Structure 1
Amino acid sequence: MVEPVRIRDMTQADIDAVAAIRVRGWQAAYAGLMPQAYLDGLSAAEDAARRREFFAAAPPEVVNLVAERDGGLVGWAVFGPVRAEGGTPPPPASEGELYALYLPPEHIGTGIGRALIDACLARAGRNGFRALCLWVLKGNARARRFYERAGFRADGAEEAYEVAGVAVPEVRYWRPLQPAEAS
């Protein structure tokens, strides 16, 4: 019998596992969308070092959540205030942004991603956010369908993003939080 997924706050002790999830998630989700040599060169150890810095410096309004099943981590998500774009004034404090959500490829389609996004939406509402946005690679059809099923809608904004000299444009999605999520 498969143990139900448990969502909890990430701790410093989770960083190595989160880095491995993030790297494997990039390698699976972005194959064919980014240069393969770049994806092959990603290092969980290097990502863990950066993640330690980010985690230690994160303000309290940035929330890292992990999904745990059968004693191991099977997902990670992080959200916080919307980041200002290219020198524009910061958005209202009531708007949040889902910065990342990754699962190991073998856990896609098992409900773990849905549990993580639901936990982010509920927690973001409790933390005072009235809406969440996210950026997703334009060509990442699977992720776009996932976010659309979770109530996010593309708003027409696109952002140039480049990886190893290759353009990989992103599109922005928004989702208002429901009163039950924001209470």
Structure 2
Amino acid sequence: MTLGDCAAVGEIRVRGWQRAYAGMIPQAYLDAMDTGRDAERRRAYLTAEGGPVNLVAETPDTTLTGWACYGPCRDGSARQESAELYALYAHPDHLGTGTGRALLTEVTARARAEGFDGMALWVLKENTRARRFYERAGFRPDGTEETFEAGGAMIPELRYVRPLTRPATPPDIHP
């Protein structure tokens, strides 16, 4: 991701929230989201020292179709050797096209290559589509639940985790 991608990423994130979280987060909060303000936040995060890793997915004509962001796990109750997927969004027009799956595959491969042995993420408890997506990718809820405030409502999230290390190949067993 480059600074030039921030406007498109802001659009992807805001439109992603507005579509995915309709009915889960107060509509007034979603309607008030601003792509320009979000793009400015992306620019600040992208230029921050030691900031997270940001990746984008794009079509052959360089139209951005998705964005993912990860880094060290921020949750004190999680293992220090774990990465955290901070964000993963496909543009609403590209849902179901493989953009999210490709980004998640790349994020987990990079985190593994960086030495992380696990990955955590937070997903809205009511977001069954996202929960199924992550479960198909090997993530499982670990029983940790937190809430955050959005538009005066408390929104429950679940933590999902997945090991990143490849399981050891079992030895051949001969009779």
**TM-score normalised per structure 1:** 0.86
State yes or no: 1:96 paired with 2:83: yes
Equivalent position to 1:75, from 47, 66, 70: 66
- Whole-angstrom distance in 1 between the partners of 2:159 and 2:68: 17
Equivalent position to 1:35, from 19, 26, 39: 26
- Please give the secondary structure, in 2, of the residue aligned with 1:133: strand
Partner of 2:53: 63
Partner of 1:5: none
Over 6 Å off, 4+ runs: none
Equivalent position to 2:99, from 112, 121, 146: 112
Aligned amino acid, residue 112 of structure 1? T
What stretches of structure 2 of length at least 5 have no aligned partner? Answer: 168-175
Aligned amino acid, residue 100 of structure 1? A
Partner of 1:157: 144
- Please give the secondary structure, in 1, of the residue aligned with 2:116: coil
- Please give the secondary structure, in 2, of the residue aligned with 1:169: strand
State yes or no: 1:168 paired with 2:155: yes
Q: Aligned Cα RMSD in Å?
A: 1.5
- Residue 99 (structure 1) shift: 0.2
- Residue 91 (structure 1) shift: 4.0
State yes or no: 1:124 paired with 2:111: yes
- Report % sequence identity: 56
The number of aligned residues is 166
- Residue 58 (structure 1) shift: 4.6
What stretches of structure 1 of length at least 5 have no aligned partner? Answer: 1-9
Which of structures 1 and 2 has the bigger CA Rg?
2
- What are the superposed Cα offsets for residues 117-157 of structure 1, whole Å, 9 maximum, x if unpaired? 00001000011110000000000000000000010000000
- What are the superposed Cα offsets for residues 57-112 of structure 1, whole Å, 9 maximum, x if unpaired? 1516x210000113200000000000034xx6x842x2100000011112111111
Equivalent position to 2:11, from 15, 20, 23: 20
